[in-house]
Chains A and B, each alone.
Chain A
Amino acid sequence: MAEAEEPGLSDQYPTASPWPLFVALGLTLSEIGVFIGLFPVAVFGLILFGGSVAGILTESGYAERPWPTLLGVGAVLTVLAAALALWQIPLADIALSNVGEGPLLTRLVAVAVAGLVMAAMGSVASLLEQTAA
């Protein structure tokens, strides 16, 4: 984390923000990862996307801190992936050992993993900040 005294780019310049570029990059990587079925690209892309959304909402003042947004995006993705899996895949086939087998299951697991990582990051960072304060 940068020292608190150093003004950031978006504090210094009224018409600059580092986030839009990364929101777009995150969205691109998420789409490629999920649709083409590239597990690591999907996971990291979604994390980049969720993280940048949390960042940009905080920077522009729609949210006070980024962490609840991160937690929220993560939770939504996890729930969505779980719901789709339960709806579209026979219960017996939903098993970690089947990851890499079914095209749908593998993709949904990638989404869920990204969601869980974001949710974990969001909650840990929230807790750390609250206890530090």
Chain B
Amino acid sequence: MVAGDIVLTGLMAVLLVGIAALLTRIENWRSYTPLAGGGTATGETVVHREKPAGIIRWLTTVDHKDIGLLYGLYAIIAFAVGGIMAFLIRVQLVTPAGAILSNNAYNSILTSHGITMLFLFGTPIIAAFANYFIPLLIGADDMAFPRINAIAFWVLPPAALLIWAGFFLAPVTDNMIEPARTAWTMYTPLSVEQTNPGVDLMLLGLHLSGVGATMGAINFIATIFTERDGDVDWANLDIFSWTMLTQSALILFAFPLLGSALVMLLMDRNLQTTFFAVEGGGPLLWQHLFWFFGHPEVYILVLPPMGLVSLILPKFSGRKLFGFKFVVYSTLAIGVLSFGVWAHHMFSTGMDPRLRASFMAVSLAIAIPSAVKTFNWITTMWNGRLRLTTPMLFCIGFVSNFIIGGVTGVFLAAVPVDLILHDTYYVVGHFHYIVMGAIGFAAFAGIYYWFPVFTGRMYQRTLGKAHFWLSMVGTNLTFFAMLALGYLGMPRRYATYQFDGAIAPLVQVTTFHQLATVGAVILLVGQLIFVWNIVQSWLEGPKVEDGDPWNLERDGMLDREFEWFDEQLEADEHERDPSLLADGGQDEQTDS
């Protein structure tokens, strides 16, 4: 122990001295001049180029577009990791005895899959779009606090390493530190009793990601309130910014609460406190705190994707968003209501039936603003001039999947139905229609729609369509099979299902599990095509020459981000032609 501490001290000292040395080499602390505010300031120093070269650019950037790209790369990597985990889960379940994993391995992968997808893919992919495009959409130079923006991103890579730490450390520590097996809800007493330090590392990772999300939310609120261009007011603020504003408010109320609950759990585990012990606050206290965060979290994840669809879908319908105002109002209504429904995740815990009834009422009520949005999307397309481009296909897929996900949710919100379906695959089917079928699809729509803006190139259209159809078929096959499994009584979070026929009819259950796995294979093929398309087109795709690649001008729907893009294209042209350098072209020459 003592030797270990000395080694650790030495390591830390070397690290700190190294960092200090590095900082004094690249940064001049004496030159700092006090300025008003913390915006990106050029001071009196001469600017040669916007950004340093190579890897240093990415490690030190405080530019919202670069940070958006970093978030995007991060989220796609997390999506791949979480996706491979999901695929392993589906392979395991092709036979009742389990095909490839031990029970422990299954539980570890199940836990990591959920947390990775929600916290390392979902929240960051939204932040990617928001960082890149909100300043462009509202005509701001950058985010209100560019440095806090960068800090909010840089806590995420360590958060991911901590969340996955058990997988890396188990082989080298002789299984002393293993991956957490708490499921993403981390219910007590289970999560207190697992003494495995991998659980602590995961909790810390989650805490860090929450710190990052909160910093990001503060930044978006400040940006949308204070950095808008003069002619962008509340009446013509775009719909994506509205949903981000609402989402950020939800984050501001929900994530600090998760952070505190996680700290309490860590203290119960390490410092013998009794917040969630029977003799203290009781295990149900965790469920209340967790779901008071957890339900708003599902809207934190779905509101901005709804905003993306509300922004993109009209562009390819040739019509303005139907009932824009009501889409905004319903966003705000969902934001408020989402804090009043958390106990619908706890109907079967034996809580007071009167409380249960009131949570049921509010949960059913939240379906109303959700339906308002759905009808608005449908009416936007009604009699429109539809153009079935890849982003549009993903928007339509979103609406279709959201309807199934939402309607199944309404059933779950009814207490008697929930008592039967709770903890079955029906719940898994319900929320995957939303998290994959809706949120995932909106993310793809956004990536394809703005691909020309952030890469300057066009993706391959045929591959895009293949990606859509494989995703649509795969999603519906996989998750519809899960709804059926739930009706048959298949419980969720099982590594094997060789149970007695009294729980569920084994033959049918096996068949539906196999169908779900076939769907997962189709999904996987689709995502491989997606990655290939993005990478190859980014490197070699045809350059976009026109600032309006979607031909939106015709309908008067060219938003500011494309106008900005057009200006960039023109500026690039000047750069390529040296004779035009005199009128403001950028000087490529670096100084000594």
Task: Please give the residue numbers on chain A whose beta carbons come within 8 Å of chain B beta carbons, in ascending order.
Answer: 1-2, 4, 6-25, 27-29, 31-32, 35-41, 43-45, 47-48, 51, 55-56, 58-64, 66, 103-104
From known contacts A6-B28, A7-B28, infer whether A12 and B204 are also in contact, taking CB-CB under 8 Å: no
Nearest chain A CB to B341 CB, angstrom units: 31
Q: Of B54-62, B220-228, B299-307, B434-442, which stretch is located at the interface?
A: B54-62
Q: Range of interface residues on chain B?
A: 35 or more
A9 CA to B28 CA, complexed, in Å: 7
Interface centre among A22, A25, A40, A56 (most CB of B within 10 A): A40
Instruction: Determine which of B20, B37, B57, B60 lies in contact with A21 in the assembled complex, contact meaning CB atoms within 8 Å.
Output: B60
From known contacts A38-B8, A40-B12, A56-B147, infer whether A62 and B45 are also in contact, taking CB-CB under 8 Å: no
A103 and B271 contacting across the interface, CB-CB below 8 Å: yes
B281 within 8 A of A: no
Nearest neighbor of A103 in chain B, beta-carbon distance:
B271
A27 CA to B528 CA, complexed, in Å: 36
Interface centre among A47, A61, A103 (most CB of B within 10 A): A61
A60 CA to B45 CA, complexed, in Å: 14
Give the residues in chain B near A55, CB-CB below 8 Å.
Answer: 23, 27, 29
A38 CA to B9 CA, complexed, in Å: 10
Q: Of B150-158, B476-484, B513-521, which stretch is located at the interface?
A: B150-158
Nearest chain A CB to B325 CB, angstrom units: 37
Query: What are 27 A-B contacts with C-beta separation under 8 Å?
Result: A9-B60, A11-B28, A12-B45, A12-B48, A13-B47, A14-B42, A14-B47, A15-B50, A15-B51, A15-B142, A16-B57, A17-B150, A18-B27, A18-B60, A20-B154, A21-B59, A24-B158, A28-B208, A32-B162, A37-B270, A41-B12, A44-B16, A45-B12, A51-B20, A55-B23, A60-B147, A61-B37
B239 within 8 A of A: no
Give chain B interface residues in 54-73, CB to chain A under 8 Å.
56-57, 59-63, 66
Nearest chain B CB to A104 CB, angstrom units: 6
A62 CA to B50 CA, complexed, in Å: 23
B154 and A24 contacting across the interface, CB-CB below 8 Å: yes
From known contacts A27-B208, A28-B158, infer whether A104 and B271 are also in contact, taking CB-CB under 8 Å: yes
Nearest chain B CB to A39 CB, angstrom units: 6
A47 CA to B29 CA, complexed, in Å: 18
B38 and A61 contacting across the interface, CB-CB below 8 Å: yes
Give the residues in chain B near A25, CB-CB below 8 Å.
Answer: 154, 158
A32 CA to B158 CA, complexed, in Å: 11
A4 and B31 contacting across the interface, CB-CB below 8 Å: yes
Nearest chain B CB to A92 CB, angstrom units: 19
A44 and B15 contacting across the interface, CB-CB below 8 Å: yes
A81 CA to B271 CA, complexed, in Å: 15
B31 and A40 contacting across the interface, CB-CB below 8 Å: no
From known contacts A17-B62, A27-B211, A61-B36, infer whether A44 and B25 are also in contact, taking CB-CB under 8 Å: no
Give the residues in chain A near B211, CB-CB below 8 Å.
Answer: 27
Give the residues in chain B near A9, CB-CB below 8 Å.
Answer: 26-27, 52, 56, 60
Give the residues in chain B near A31, CB-CB below 8 Å.
Answer: 204, 207-208
Nearest chain B CB to A33 CB, angstrom units: 9
A29 CA to B42 CA, complexed, in Å: 32
B549 within 8 A of A: no
Name the 10 nearest CB pairs between A and B, nearest first.
Answer: A8-B28, A20-B150, A24-B154, A61-B35, A44-B12, A60-B38, A15-B63, A40-B9, A28-B158, A8-B27
A2 CA to B25 CA, complexed, in Å: 6
What does DSSP make chain B's interface, helix, strand, loop or mixed?
helix
Nearest neighbor of B14 in chain A, beta-carbon distance:
A44
Interface centre among B40, B43, B211, B272 (most CB of A within 10 A): B40
A29 CA to B28 CA, complexed, in Å: 25
Nearest chain A CB to B58 CB, angstrom units: 10
From known contacts A8-B28, A12-B45, A15-B50, infer whether A36 and B151 are also in contact, taking CB-CB under 8 Å: no
Nearest chain B CB to A79 CB, angstrom units: 20
Give chain B interface residues in 1-49, CB to chain A under 8 Å.
5, 8-9, 11-13, 15-16, 19-20, 22-38, 40-43, 45, 47-49
Interface centre among A6, A39, A47 (most CB of B within 10 A): A6
Nearest chain B CB to A81 CB, angstrom units: 14
A10 and B158 contacting across the interface, CB-CB below 8 Å: no
A22 and B19 contacting across the interface, CB-CB below 8 Å: yes
In addition to A8-B31, A9-B27, A43-B12, 12 A-B residue pairs with Cβ atoms within 8 Å of each other are A4-B30, A12-B47, A13-B50, A16-B52, A19-B147, A22-B19, A31-B207, A32-B204, A36-B270, A58-B32, A61-B34, A66-B29
B151 and A24 contacting across the interface, CB-CB below 8 Å: yes
Give the residues in chain A near B49, CB-CB below 8 Å.
Answer: 13
A7 and B147 contacting across the interface, CB-CB below 8 Å: no
Nearest chain A CB to B304 CB, angstrom units: 23
A116 CA to B547 CA, complexed, in Å: 57
Give the residues in chain B near A18, CB-CB below 8 Å.
Answer: 22-23, 26-27, 59-60
A1 CA to B30 CA, complexed, in Å: 9
A55 CA to B61 CA, complexed, in Å: 16
Nearest chain B CB to A22 CB, angstrom units: 6
A39 and B147 contacting across the interface, CB-CB below 8 Å: no
Give the residues in chain B near A12, CB-CB below 8 Å.
Answer: 45, 47-48, 52, 591
Nearest chain A CB to B238 CB, angstrom units: 24
Give the residues in chain B near A48, CB-CB below 8 Å.
Answer: 16, 19
